[in-house]
């Protein structure tokens, strides 16, 4: 594909996208009346038990106008739902009545904290405390009283599922349905300091056996609950006590580690955090000797590519504030990647001595800053890390911002600075979503031959129900070096376009949605020469989801790779330098995940460089009851090349258990025949009160080389985290 042909193709795609959006039938904003909910002042103490039998609940305003988004957009909910809101000086109370004529058919399989609520009967509350149409707090429960919470960013385009707030919920199920009672302390939320508050608020209920989803406001299929710009309004909040919360969270850790070839070592650690809410919108966190012993092990990945693998952050210290440092260069170019702090490239821990962090929002300005210092470990010197992020709200849903990072070692400095812009609206052609953005960054490395390098990104996105289109241009110069960030590859430019058409045919009564993908490509060229680096394209002749919850797709893929040097893909197996074009095919199938037994299947086969490859994968889940669930997965790559053939297998298994929403755990195991090690992780978490945790963790490594099973390393740890509020 030549550069001139690609440019013409690119221009045609932009024109086609605009025409497609213009002729798409405009929909009016999906809102109903009343769209304003009045919170009632609470003058007495109520018990949060899910019964909702206090008289004040009946005195409060009840909203009942819930409308279907799925399966039948715009039709009334088939089961009654009511919501009322109370508040006192310290907390917000939300009462929920989920009436159901067949409560014995409720789908409620989970109880643990931060449960996966995508396949459960549930009730979701989203609160936009700034009423800025951008960010919010999502709180979720199910009939078992499980808790999940999520931070919503940029009107739902980004989420932080790892944020944990301090709140409580109680539920009760009767022959009339199920009922929930939320208590959300104001200290969990950040909000303006004005005497009288006006917040955005919205509610969603999912009735899984019917695949029915109902919302109070914004039930358009082009919308999601996470789009706080489509929410209703909560009024009447006033006189809340000023929140200046001082929170202490010390921890103590004890245990032992027994390597196979060394003597057993005892482990003792102490440390903790101090959190101070300077204002209701600005929080200071100071940490000393943070420890991450309770974090579940990474899922091992066998890398059959030439490029770096991305591993998600799992450490709570970094997760709870990560959204403040997101930057608009996309997935493959990140100026800040928190795993660069306290972890080596192969995942080994480097001790963090301490640091401080400031997070918050003042008016239309969002601020994030963090400094940390790591200890010297072997040949790795003690290092200082710093990151600062500023973002300003503009227009109704848009932002501009800057980021700066710094890594300071003895006699050496690396830094990255960047600027990004996002324009976003959900009012294009009446009620459609549209965004466009740009970002640029420059790095500086004090001891490099080329001290500076740059990266850029431009994108547009039209993510709507029937037509979903996006286009991206990325560039990372060959000298761009963000050592506190992540680069999947260097020295390239990438052109991407992705078009999906998703009609809902009424003549196929069992189909919820068809998905056709006439175009999806990622075209990489060398930034210096303009020559091909890689090309990946996908055409989807058929994909669909059913009204019963199943999913299927078929894909045809065409790829190209230009190797400037020989590539060792596996032990002793070399692919010579050169340009390779190949075609492969793919099938995917997934059953409805709300069933007690569910599964997934994937197969991709065809050409691979100068040979062939067949990749198969499957996953089976059995949810025995709300207390226990089990899953297993298997992936196999069979690769045949002129230089040799090999097979790579990856196996994983998991058992999750929960005795109640405050006592739960898991057993996780994995193995692959590249590392030839079994890795086992056993973890129990008890939460006697919010944000106070007791963890018991066992990590076991077993060497399976040479057809022998040898215990390689055993670690047993107990960690207790207290929470004190002053």
Report whether 692 contacts 663 (CB < 8 A): no
In this predicted structure, the answer to whether residue 268 has a pLDDT above a threshold of 80 is yes
Q: Which residues pair with 386 in a beta bridge?
A: 371, 406
State residue 24's pLDDT score.
38
Alpha-carbon distance of 383 to 274, in angstroms, equals 22
Supply the pTM of this predicted model.
0.86
In this predicted structure, the answer to whether residue 687 has a pLDDT above a threshold of 50 is yes
Mean pLDDT of 648-661: 95
Least confident stretch, 84-93, 533-542, 668-677: 668-677
SS3 540: strand
State residue 139's pLDDT score.
98
Please give the full DSSP string across 59-96, using - where no structure is assigned.
HS--B---EEEESSTTSBPSS-EEEEEEE-SSEEEEEE
In this predicted structure, the answer to whether residue 451 has a pLDDT above a threshold of 90 is yes
Mean pLDDT of 224-249: 87
Alpha-carbon distance of 251 to 255, in angstroms, equals 14
Q: What pLDDT band is residue 243 in, cutting at 50, 70 and 90?
A: low
Mean pLDDT of 189-206: 92
Alpha-carbon distance of 315 to 298, in angstroms, equals 11
Least confident stretch, 261-265, 367-371, 483-487: 261-265
Please give the backbone phi and psi of residue 616, each rounded to the nearest 5 degrees, phi first: -125, 145
Token pair recorded at residue 459: 């994108």
Strand pairing category for 36-38 and 232-238:
parallel
State residue 136's pLDDT score.
94
In this predicted structure, the answer to whether residue 28 has a pLDDT above a threshold of 60 is no
**Which residue, among 655, 674, 672, 676, has the nearest Cα to 664 in the 3D structure?**
655
330 vs 74, higher pLDDT: 74
| CA-angle at 619, arms to 615 and 621, nearest 5° | 175
3-state helix, strand, coil in the chain (%, to 5): 10, 55, 35
State residue 663's pLDDT score.
96
Alpha-carbon distance of 615 to 596, in angstroms, equals 27
In this predicted structure, the answer to whether residue 181 has a pLDDT above a threshold of 70 is yes
Q: Among residues of the chain, what percentage have pLDDT more than 90?
A: 71
221 vs 15, higher pLDDT: 221
Least confident stretch, 2-6, 59-63, 425-429, 699-703: 2-6
State residue 222's pLDDT score.
92
Q: Look at phi and psi of residue 549 and say left if phi exceeds 0, alpha if psi is from -120 to 50, else beta.
A: left
DSSP code of residue 14:
H
Alpha-carbon distance of 724 to 726, in angstroms, equals 7
Q: What are the structural domains, with CATH classification, of the chain?
A: 31-238 (2.60.40.1190)
In this predicted structure, the answer to whether residue 37 has a pLDDT above a threshold of 60 is yes
Alpha helices for 269-375 (secondary structure H): 316-319
Report whether 469 contacts 462 (CB < 8 A): yes
Alpha-carbon distance of 420 to 629, in angstroms, equals 43
Please give the backbone phi and psi of residue 382, each rounded to the nearest 5 degrees, phi first: -60, 135
Q: What pLDDT band is residue 631 in, cutting at 50, 70 and 90?
A: very high
Alpha-carbon distance of 337 to 224, in angstroms, equals 28
Q: What pLDDT band is residue 244 in, cutting at 50, 70 and 90?
A: low
In this predicted structure, the answer to whether residue 35 has a pLDDT above a threshold of 60 is yes
Residue 406 neighbours by CB under 8 Å, 6+ apart = 384, 385, 386, 387, 413, 414, 415, 484
Q: What pLDDT band is residue 323 in, cutting at 50, 70 and 90?
A: confident
Q: Look at phi and psi of residue 402 and say left if phi exceeds 0, alpha if psi is from -120 to 50, else beta.
A: beta
State residue 20's pLDDT score.
39
Least confident stretch, 26-30, 399-403, 521-525, 623-627: 26-30
Residue 137 neighbours by CB under 8 Å, 6+ apart = 126, 127, 129, 149, 150, 151, 152, 165, 188, 189
SS3 254: strand
Average pLDDT in the chain: 90
27 vs 218, higher pLDDT: 218
State residue 6's pLDDT score.
47
pLDDT in tens, 553-572: 999 999 999 999 999 998 88
Other C-beta atoms within 10 Å of 571: how many? Answer: 8
Mean pLDDT of 391-401: 93
State residue 309's pLDDT score.
76
Other C-beta atoms within 10 Å of 235: how many? Answer: 15
In this predicted structure, the answer to whether residue 10 has a pLDDT above a threshold of 70 is no
Q: What pLDDT band is residue 345 in, cutting at 50, 70 and 90?
A: confident
In this predicted structure, the answer to whether residue 432 has a pLDDT above a threshold of 60 is yes
CA-based torsion, 459, 22, 523, 552: positive or negative: positive
DSSP strands (E only) in 548-676: 551-563, 567-570, 573-575, 578-590, 597-608, 611-623, 628-641, 644-660, 663-672
Length of the chain: 726
In this predicted structure, the answer to whether residue 306 has a pLDDT above a threshold of 90 is no
> Up-side HSE of residue 84: CA atoms within 13 Å toward CB?
18
Alpha-carbon distance of 191 to 240, in angstroms, equals 11
State residue 241's pLDDT score.
66
State residue 332's pLDDT score.
87
Please give the backbone phi and psi of residue 325, each rounded to the nearest 5 degrees, phi first: -115, 10
Q: What pLDDT band is residue 9 in, cutting at 50, 70 and 90?
A: very low
Q: Look at phi and psi of residue 580 and say left if phi exceeds 0, alpha if psi is from -120 to 50, else beta.
A: beta
In this predicted structure, the answer to whether residue 13 has a pLDDT above a threshold of 70 is no
State residue 74's pLDDT score.
94
Token pair recorded at residue 112: 């643990």
Q: Among residues of the chain, what percentage have pLDDT more than 70?
A: 94
Please give the full DSSP string across 183-203, using - where no structure is assigned.
EEEGGGS-----SEEEEEEEE
Alpha-carbon distance of 635 to 650, in angstroms, equals 5
Report whether 400 contacts 421 (CB < 8 A): yes
Alpha-carbon distance of 73 to 69, in angstroms, equals 4
């Amino acid at each position: 594909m030549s550069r001139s042909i690609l440019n013409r193709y690119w221009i045609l795609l932009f024109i086609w996208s605009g025409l497609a959006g213009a002729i798409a039938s405009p929909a009016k904003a999906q809102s109903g009346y009343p769209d304003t909910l009045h919170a009632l002042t609470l003058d007495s103490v109520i018990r949060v038990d899910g019964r909702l039998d206090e008289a004040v609940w009946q005195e409060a305003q009840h909203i009942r106008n819930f409308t279907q988004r799925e399966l039948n957009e715009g039709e009334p909910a088939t089961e009654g739902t009511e919501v009322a809101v109370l508040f006192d000086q310290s907390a917000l109370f939300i009462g929920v009545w989920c009436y159901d004529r067949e409560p014995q058919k409720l789908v409620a399989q989970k109880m643990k904290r931060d449960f996966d609520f995508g396949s459960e009967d549930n009730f979701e509350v989203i609160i936009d405390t700034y009423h800025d149409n951008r960010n919010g707090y999502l709180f979720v429960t199910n009939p078992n009283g499980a808790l999940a919470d999520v931070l919503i960013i940029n009107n739902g385009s980004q989420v932080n599922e790892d944020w944990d707030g301090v709140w409580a919920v109680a539920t009760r199920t009767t022959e009339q349905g199920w009922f929930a009672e939320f208590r959300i302390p104001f200290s969990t939320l950040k909000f303006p300091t004005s005497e009288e508050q006006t917040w955005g608020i919205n509610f969603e209920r999912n009735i899984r056996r019917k695949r029915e989803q109902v919302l109070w406001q914004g039930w358009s299929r082009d919308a999601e609950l996470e789009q706080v710009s489509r929410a209703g309004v909560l009024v009447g909040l006033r006189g809340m006590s000023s929140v200046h919360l001082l929170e202490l969270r010390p921890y103590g850790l004890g245990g032992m580690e027994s390597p196979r070839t060394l003597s057993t070592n005892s482990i003792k650690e102490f440390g903790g955090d101090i959190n101070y809410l300077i204002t209701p919108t600005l929080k200071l966190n100071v940490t000393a000797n943070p420890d991450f012993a309770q974090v579940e092990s990474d899922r091992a990945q066998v890398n059959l590519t030439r490029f770096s693998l991305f591993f998600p952050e799992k450490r709570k210290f970094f997760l709870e504030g990560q959204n403040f440092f997101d930057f608009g260069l996309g997935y493959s170019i990140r100026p800040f990647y928190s795993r660069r702090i306290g972890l080596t490239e192969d995942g080994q821990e480097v001790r963090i001595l301490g640091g401080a962090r400031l997070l918050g929002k003042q008016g239309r300005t969002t601020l994030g800053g963090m400094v940390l210092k790591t200890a010297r470990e072997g040949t790795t010197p003690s290092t200082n890390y710093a990151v600062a992020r500023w973002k300003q709200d503009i227009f109704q849903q848009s932002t501009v911002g800057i980021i700066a990072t710094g890594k300071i070692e003895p006699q050496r400095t690396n830094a990255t600075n960047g600027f990004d812009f996002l324009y976003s609206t959900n009012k294009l052609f009446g009620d459609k979503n549209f965004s466009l953005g740009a970002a640029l960054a420059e790095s500086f490395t004090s001891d490099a031959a080329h001290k500076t390098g740059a990266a850029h990104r431009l994108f547009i996105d039209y993510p709507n129900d029937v037509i979903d289109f996006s286009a991206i241009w990325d560039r990372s110069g060959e000298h761009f070096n963000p050592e506190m960030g992540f680069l999947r590859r260097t020295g390239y430019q990438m052109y991407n376009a992705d078009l999906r058409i998703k009609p809902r045919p009424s003549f196929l009564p069992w189909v919820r949605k068809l998905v056709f993908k006439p175009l999806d490509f990622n075209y990489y060229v060398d930034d210096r020469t303009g020559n091909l680096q890689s090309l990946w394209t996908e055409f989807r002749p058929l994909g669909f989801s059913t009204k019963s919850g199943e999913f299927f797709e078929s894909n045809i893929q065409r790829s190209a790779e230009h190797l400037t040097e020989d590539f060792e893909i596996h032990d002793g197996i070399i692919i010579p330098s050169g340009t390779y074009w190949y075609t492969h095919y793919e099938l995917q199938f997934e059953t409805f995940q709300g069933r007690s037994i569910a599964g997934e299947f994937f197969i991709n086969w065809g050409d691979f460089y100068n040979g062939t490859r067949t990749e198969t994968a499957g996953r089976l889940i059995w949810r025995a009851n709300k207390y226990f669930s089990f899953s297993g997965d298997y992936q196999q790559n069979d690769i045949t090349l002129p230089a040799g053939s090999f097979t790579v297998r990856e196996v994983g298994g998991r058992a999750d258990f929960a005795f109640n929403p405050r006592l739960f755990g898991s057993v996780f195991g994995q193995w692959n025949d590249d590392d030839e090690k079994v890795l086992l992780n056993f973890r129990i978490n008890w939460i006697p009160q919010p944000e106070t945790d007791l963890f018991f963790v066992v990590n076991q490594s077993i060497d399976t080389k040479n057809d022998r099973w040898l215990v390689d390393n055993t670690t047993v740890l107990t960690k207790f985290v207290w929470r004190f509020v002053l």
